[in-house]
Structure 1
Amino acid sequence: MRQAHVQNGSGCGKKILVIDGMIPRPDRDSGSLRMSHLLQLLTSFGYHVTFAAANLEAPQPYTGQLQAAGIEVLTRPDLPSLQNYLQWSGACFETVILSRVSVAVRYIEAVRQYVPQARVVFDTVDLHYVREFRGAKVTGNRALLKRALQTKTKELAAVNAADCTLVVSLAEKETLIRECPGAAVQIVSNIHHTFEPVPAFAPRKDLLFIGSFFHHPNIDAVHYFLADIFPLVKKKIAGVKIYIIGDNPPESIQSLAADDVIITGYIPDVSVYFNSCKVSVAPLRYGAGVKGKVHLSMSFGLPVVASSMAIEGMPFINNRHGLVVDTSQDFCQAIVSVYQDETLWTNISQNSQNLIKTHFSFEAAQRQLVKVLKQERTN
């Protein structure tokens, strides 16, 4: 067994290879934002970081952003395949991070064969099988249930095959320890800056929902909110609108656009919405991991009204860091309360940013990553 040389928060090892499903697009989805920040931290430790999308595609401007940060990016047509690259260059890596179950299943055997000296880290991003099981339960989709069973088999196999597995919350760590006794599991959660100063309460108006629509729980959440909650809110707050921001809204979402329902699609800079809207909503009915939409809102100091599912895995205290509700009537009342009460709004705004600084900052992630990079190989 071997151990990375990491001392006082910085690494003096050689090279780390990170493989994900695609190039991080931090302005488009939460998983990409976390990966982008994770790569930044690894370079700050003094490692030479090489990144590859599983398909070796390297779209701009995202590839250029990584390269500008000092990260080597593997691309086509320079390489015929990642398998070839591992065979040719694997000997130089001391750690390989495989992000998401689809990538881990596809490459872990090749990494073991061609990079035998490396510590293999499986980064779950969230437990996919948990999200799929919950989605099947909420929607009654039997095909999704079948897929969840298949995903669980693959995901737990990857956990058992890796030297270390990363999860984003204590809840998911406890789940994996029950399912895979003896597995080495570490928490590296979402990573955020906070944005200060926070614009004042009085000039703000309207509601905000944010989330990529490549992620099906967001589609379900918007349908639920607009059908069951927003009509109640409009009876209480005259003229209120909701801005629904996110990449790739399907026709079923676009068709819901109205004068008071603004479907923006992808927005390169979302700060203007976080700084002008009064309440962020996160009415998720299923999911897994921790929710970037909640963290991003809190990082801007924008109070969140969320379902229990949306704040899962967070040390989130109701009425302190936001409002947590699980029925349509309660969701409406919570929105009205924080929308109209400046003292409540201000307290939640301040407390939510403090929570991000304590648990979901670069400093918090750095402490956790050091543990991962110190951990010995187990296989």
Structure 2
Amino acid sequence: MNHLVIIGAVWPEPNSTAAGNRMLQLIALFQKQDYEITFLCSAMPSDFSFDLSTISVNTQTIQLNNSSFDIIIKELNPDVVLFDRFMIEEQYGWRVIEQCPNALRILDTEDLHFLRKAREVAFKQNRELVFEDYISDVFKREIASIYRCDLTLLISEYEMQLAAESFKIDASILYYLPFLSEEININVPKFEERNHFISIGNFLHEPNWQTVLQLKKQWKSIKKQLPEAELHVYGAYVSEKAKQLHNEKEGFLIKGRAKSVADVYAKAKVLLAPIPYGAGLKGKLFEAMQLGLPSVTTKMGAEGMNGVLDWNGFITSDENEFVEKAVELYTNKSIWKTVQKNGYEIIEKRFKKELFASDFITKVAHIQEHLKTHRNQNFLGQILQHQNLQSTKYMSKWIEAKNS
């Protein structure tokens, strides 16, 4: 039996974040191939962390900058190690190389952090993004991490294109693996059985907070045309500044954590997501399509999701048009039903699990079988490993000595 070790940035919270759902999907892919799985993490679990033992995943707490990890990983002796985001690879990658040199190393980016950072800088400076925005310290760290690993998972077609075409990263070390859908729920409440608008997103994620601020600006115009409508804003880890936006009279309601996304989506008529910047795929929009909830979003929100297919609602980055389309979708039953079907089609043709599961496992097995050749072709990765072992390694050892 093959053994996969996942080193997590946090313990998965599938009811709080799209990243939590993504992690459970990856676990399921490997379990389907009879992998034994161990999840390691240095973070403290929260009240909302998923109990991995319920799906037969072993867990163990590890320490940052501590050689105790070397003993743990050597004893586990994994065939495959998956790093959850590039920061985790920086922390533990060199230790894995030293203790388990023959383990296949996979990086799951979740989304490209340097892309999100570049867009955030441009957004906050109220200007268009330019190429130089990409070339940040985060960019250098993340690209180096990609090269050091045997395979990197990218969740968005846009990010695959960016990595391969703009930054000339060899396709042999990149793999497109988006959110995966196992089924579509078409037995959902009808148009006339629904009321109100909804927005959802973890408040710890800065793009989600900026989305709420965008909604606050636009809501009065929507409310003026639809006086009976309310906007229900859901999201885990509500901040005090978010709570201050709650206004019963305006119908702008900060609801906090949703116990069940499916339940709150079933009651709502339209999802609003004026996402100003970000990266990767947007879990809220993916789930909306799965659950038959039409949406109005921006080009940034829909990026990498619908390809050439018609959207599950409307896409616009113009504030006035956003309001217009929100009202139109909320009031026009015919359009609403048509775009709901668009969403089902996007899921069926672009995110169905069967489209990716077998090919992904075949890719992993092929690299394992030809690991030496694969690594020799990625000579830049070997160079960066050498440099990393001389810098990150000794910084970590210095911190460990300092702490002791």
TM-score (normalizing by structure 1): 0.88
CA distance in 2, matches of 1:167, 1:147: 17
User: Cα distance, 1:318 vs. partner?
Assistant: 7.3
Of 316-325 and 159-168, deviating more is 316-325
CA distance in 1, matches of 2:149, 2:168: 12
Code of the residue aligned with 1:111 in structure 2: it is: V
Give the counterpart letter for 2:201 in structure 1.
Answer: G
Whether contact under 8 Å (2:211, 2:275) holds in the other structure is: yes
Which residue does 2:143 correspond to in 1?
156
2:38 counterpart SS class? strand
Matched, 1:269 2:260: yes
CA shift in 2, pair 1:147/1:213, >3 Å: farther
2:64 matches 1:73:
no
- CA distance in structure 2 between the partners assigned to 1:224 and 1:98 by the alignment: 34
Alpha-carbon spacing, 1:313–1:100, altered in 2? closer, same or farther (3 Å) = same
What is the Cα deviation at residue 195 of structure 1? 2.5
Letter in 2 for 1:243: H
Aligned partners of 1:261, 1:61: CA distance in 2, in Å? 26
Identity, in percent, stands at 23
Alignment counterpart, residue 106 of structure 2, candidates 113, 121, 124 = 121
Quote the residue 1:7 is aligned against. none
Q: Which residue of 2 aligns with 1:199?
A: 189
Question: Do residues 258 (structure 1) and 258 (structure 2) align?
Answer: no
The verdict on how the C-alpha distance between 1:215 and 1:368 changes in structure 2, with shifts beyond 3 A counting, is: farther
Are the aligned partners of 2:13 and 2:50 in contact in 1 as well (CA < 8 Å)?
A: no
Q: Aligned to 1:264, what secondary structure does the other structure show? A: strand
CA contact (8 A) 1:23 1:63 kept: yes
Are positions 1:311 and 2:302 aligned together?
A: yes
Report deviation, 1:286: 0.3
Count of residues in correspondence between the two structures: 359
Read off the aligned partner of 1:210 and give its amino acid letter: I
The list of structure 1 runs, each at least 4 consecutive aligned residues, that deviate by more than 6 angstroms after superposition, is 145-148
Given residue 149 of structure 1, which amino acid in structure 2 is its aligned partner?
S
| Whole-angstrom distance in 2 between the partners of 1:293 and 1:367 | 26
Q: CA deviation at 1:76?
A: 6.1
Distance 2:161 2:25 in 1: 25
Larger-gyration structure (1/2): 2
C-alpha displacement of 1:314: 1.4
The one-letter code sitting in structure 2 at the alignment partner of 1:69 is: I
Contact 1:132 1:148 in 2 (8 A): no
2:89 matched to 1:104?
A: yes
Q: What is the distance in 2 between the residues matched to 1:152 and 1:107? A: 19
1:76 and 1:116, CA in 2 relative to 1: closer, same or farther beyond 3 A? closer
Query: Which structure's relative contact order is higher, taking Cα pairs within 8 Å and 6+ residues apart?
Result: 1
Please provide the CA RMSD for this pair. 2.3
Given that 1:282 and 1:307 are in contact with CA atoms closer than 8 Å, whether structure 2 keeps it comes out as yes
Structure 2 equivalent of residue 291 of structure 1:
282
Q: Does residue 210 in structure 1 map to residue 207 in structure 2? A: no
Normalised by the length of structure 2, the TM-score is 0.83
Alignment of 1:335-354 (within 5 A): 335-354=326-345
CA distance in 2, matches of 1:317, 1:345: 20
Structure 1 unaligned spans of 5+: 1-12
Partners of 2:359 and 2:224 in 1: how far apart? 46
- Give 1:245's aligned residue: 234
Between Structure 1 and Structure 2, which shows a larger proportion of helix residues?
A: 2
- Secondary structure at 2:56's aligned position in 1? coil
- The answer to whether the 8 Å contact 1:130/1:148 transfers is no
Cα distance in 2 for partners of 1:57, 1:204 equals: 39
Change (3 A) 1:25 1:232: same
The residue identity in structure 1 corresponding to 2:245 is L
CA spacing shift, 1:35–1:344, aligned 2, 3 Å: same
Residues 282 and 16 of structure 1: CA distance in aligned 2, closer, same or farther (over 3 Å): same
Q: 1:202 aligns to what SS in structure 2?
A: helix
Paired with 1:181 and 1:102, the residues of 2 have a C-alpha distance of 19
The separation in 2 between residues aligned to 1:89 and 1:318, in whole angstroms, is: 45
- The runs of 5 or more residues in structure 2 that have no matched partner are 127-131, 376-404
Question: Take 1:27 and 1:132, find their aligned partners in 2: how far apart are those partners?
Answer: 25
